[in-house]
Amino acid sequence: MTGRLTVIGLGPGHAAQITPEASAALADAELLLGYAPYLARVPERPGQRREPTDNREEIARASAALMAAAAGDRVAMVSGGDPGVFAMAAAVCEAIEHGPPQWRAIDVVILPGITAMLAVAARVGAPLGADFCAISLSDNLKPWDLVRQRLAAVAQAGFVIALYNPISRARPWQLGEAFALLADLLPPETPVIFGRAAGRPDERIAIVPLCEADAAMADMATCVIIGSAHTRIIARPDGPALVYSPRSVRPSA
Amino acid sequence: MTGRLTVIGLGPGHAAQITPEASAALADAELLLGYAPYLARVPERPGQRREPTDNREEIARASAALMAAAAGDRVAMVSGGDPGVFAMAAAVCEAIEHGPPQWRAIDVVILPGITAMLAVAARVGAPLGADFCAISLSDNLKPWDLVRQRLAAVAQAGFVIALYNPISRARPWQLGEAFALLADLLPPETPVIFGRAAGRPDERIAIVPLCEADAAMADMATCVIIGSAHTRIIARPDGPALVYSPRSVRPSA
């Protein structure tokens, strides 16, 4: 008797940014698992069980979900943003690969969501309008030297850079070091966007030049977008500036 | 009398993947503009005008929308996927920057959507579960040498690569050259995903090793995802394989 595990992206947090297929899957589940603040966004329904977890131990959480699905439950694993971007979908796949063979028979469905960089970008213009990359700044799962190498490679190659997991109590210095590294490779006026809780009532968005970017402007719920040398700022008289990365690059660039 | 221009992401095409805020904005618009196949996805409403366009002349289309908004209309510019990812939001910003000063007073709202790489990734597992980048393979707007440099930089640095605009009648050879370039830098068994119309009835998804990747497997509506050397495939007895990029990279990598 094998059930189903649906891994669901809630988007950045605003209910109007949850896709209808995600809402339907949330309503259909018998058991909901996920990091407590994400789970708290999902309306309670009679007959549904829920098991909030902390934000560590992703493999343990994935394994618990797979075990319940293998026993026949319709299980929903709730994720912020998009589950495939530095979130639970990869942890579920990893647990399946290293778990008991019967987990490979579970019907796994992954429902995409609006990931943070898209929500933040939309609030300021189109900073991701040219080639871009997404990097998790956490060195819990990869060596810091590799993060540094990747930052240098993409900055030199002209990519816009979206940083996920930029800072936390346990990782207080990495974002500052990233800004310092990038300041050696990019013009001082390169726009940096700090986007927190995009689209939610407690939204906080700041745009500063790279030479003034300060790690203290971010917390663990912030997505930081660093422009390329081509990223532009358009001042506007009646509202916030627009930031965008032009689609075209001239041969001289 | 200045109206509003809302740039709306429709997601990959399945109605259940359009966010409620996007649906509400579509219903509220007086004038809808966009590439005809995207516009065709939007239900007709009495009293709304619509102006379908072809998929070139993005700046002309953006300018037409801004002109109508400046005249007081509530204008919706419809975009596939996410408007900020190789789509209309950057063209709108560019038109504002180079247009008449009064366009800077227009209320511009950008509503994010599920971009193709997220939808394709969700259908196969979590190939974007580690650091990744998105590159438009079109050399209409940037020199092909720059595309080659960027591909090499990110492949060598271990990023998963999502390719947008991989091929078209006018650009038939670029994708094959990209595969050849990447084959020199990545293991032959690196998974390549061809994802077309993800989540729609005419969905077509294929997973092949890089050494067998053939540009003929893509068309202009395909998003191609090329794994890193760490991307894994999990065979499953009763269904399609799962592809994922592990969150962790060991120091030896």
Give the model confidence (pLDDT) of A73-116 as tens digits: 999 999 999 999 999 999 999 999 999 999 999 999 999 999 99
What count of other Cβ atoms lies within 10 Å of the Cβ of residue A102?
A: 11
Helix (H, G, I), strand (E, B) or coil at A42: coil
What tokens were used for B233?
A: 């495939």
What tokens were used for B87?
A: 């789509």
Phi, psi of B67 (to 5 degrees): -65, -45
Q: Given this model, what pLDDT does residue B200 score?
A: 84
List the single residue in B24, B107, B158 with the smallest CB-CB distance to A150: B158
List the single residue in A24, A157, A235 with the smallest CB-CB distance to B153: A157
pLDDT, tens digit, 9 for 90 and up, residues A171-198 = 999 999 999 999 999 999 999 999 998 8
B84 and B9 belong to one structural domain:
yes
Q: Given this model, what pLDDT does residue B198 score?
A: 87
Q: Which of A30-34, A199-203, B47-51, B249-253 has the lowest mean pLDDT?
A: B249-253
A121 and A237 belong to one structural domain:
yes
- Tell whether pTM > 0.95: yes
Q: Given this model, what pLDDT does residue A198 score?
A: 87
Q: Is there a domain that residue B249 lies in?
A: no
Last residue of a domain, one of A98, A114, A130: A114
Last residue of a domain, one of B114, B137, B162: B114
Q: Cβ distance B61 to B81 under 8 Å? A: no
Last residue of a domain, one of A69, A88, A114: A114
Distances (CA, A) of A84 to A107, B183, B250: 17, 25, 20
List the single residue in B19, B158, B238 with the smallest CB-CB distance to A16: B19
| Burial class for B55, CB neighbours closer than 10 Å (0-12, 13-18, 19+) | middle
Q: Given this model, what pLDDT does residue B40 score?
A: 93
| Cβ contacts of A108 on chain B, cutoff 8 Å | 125, 242
Evaluate if residue A250 carries a pLDDT over 60. yes
B237 and B125 belong to one structural domain:
yes
Evaluate if residue A155 carries a pLDDT over 70. yes
The torsion defined by the Cα of B36, B38, B43 and B45, in degrees rounded to 10, comes to: -50
Q: Cβ distance B166 to B175 under 8 Å? A: yes
Q: Is there a domain that residue A252 lies in?
A: no
| Cβ contacts of B246 on chain A, cutoff 8 Å | 90, 94
Q: Given this model, what pLDDT does residue B253 score?
A: 42
Report d(CA A135, CA A163) in Å as an integer.
5
B84 and B129 belong to one structural domain:
no
A46 and A126 belong to one structural domain:
no
B149 and B219 belong to one structural domain:
yes
B213 and B173 belong to one structural domain:
yes
Q: Given this model, what pLDDT does residue B249 score?
A: 86
* Contact state of A154 with B156 under an 8 Å Cβ cutoff: no
Q: Given this model, what pLDDT does residue A253 score?
A: 42
Any CB–CB contact under 8 A between A112 and chain B?
Answer: yes
Determine the longest span between alpha carbons in chain A, in angstroms.
Answer: 63
CATH code for position A34? 3.40.1010.10
Q: Is there a domain that residue A253 lies in?
A: no
Q: How far is A75 from chain B (nearest CA, A)?
A: 17
What tokens were used for A210?
A: 């790279």
CATH code for position B167? 3.30.950.10
Chain A, nearest residue to B113 by Cα: A114
Q: Is there a domain that residue A108 lies in?
A: yes
Which is more confident, B13 or A218?
A: A218
Q: Please work out, in degrees rounded to the nearest 5, the angle formed at the alpha carbon of residue A127 by the alpha carbons of A121 and A131.
A: 115
Q: Is there a domain that residue A15 lies in?
A: yes
B43 and B74 belong to one structural domain:
yes
Element (H, E) at A193: strand A191-196
Report d(CA B22, CA B9) in Å as an integer.
7
Q: Is there a domain that residue A124 lies in?
A: yes
B129 and B172 belong to one structural domain:
yes
State what percent of residues in chain A have pLDDT above 90. Answer: 87
Q: What is the residue range of A162's domain?
A: 117-244
Q: Is there a domain that residue A249 lies in?
A: no
A30-43 burial code (b ≥16 CB/10 A, e <16): ebbbbbeebbebbe
Residues 7-66 of B with CB under 8 A from A: 11, 14-21, 24, 58
| Burial class for B205, CB neighbours closer than 10 Å (0-12, 13-18, 19+) | middle
Q: Is there a domain that residue B214 lies in?
A: yes
Phi, psi of B177 (to 5 degrees): -65, -35
Which is more confident, B45 or A251?
A: B45
Count structural domains, chain B: 2
B85-101 burial code (b ≥16 CB/10 A, e <16): bbbbbbbbbbbbbebee
**Taking residues A12-36, what's their average pLDDT?**
95
Residues 151-170 of B with CB under 8 A from A: 153-154, 156-159
A103 and A21 belong to one structural domain:
yes
A114 closest CA partner among A202, A19, A206: A19
B91 and B140 belong to one structural domain:
no
Sheet holding B125-126, edge to edge: B125-126, B242-244, B232-234
Q: Specify which residues A49 forms β-bridges with.
A: A31
B39 and B89 belong to one structural domain:
yes
Q: DSSP secondary structure string, B19-51?
A: -HHHHHHHHH-SEEEEEHHHHTTSPP-TT-EEE
Task: Spell out, as residue ranges, where chain B has pLDDT lower than 70.
Answer: 1, 55-56, 251-253
Helix (H, G, I), strand (E, B) or coil at A153: helix
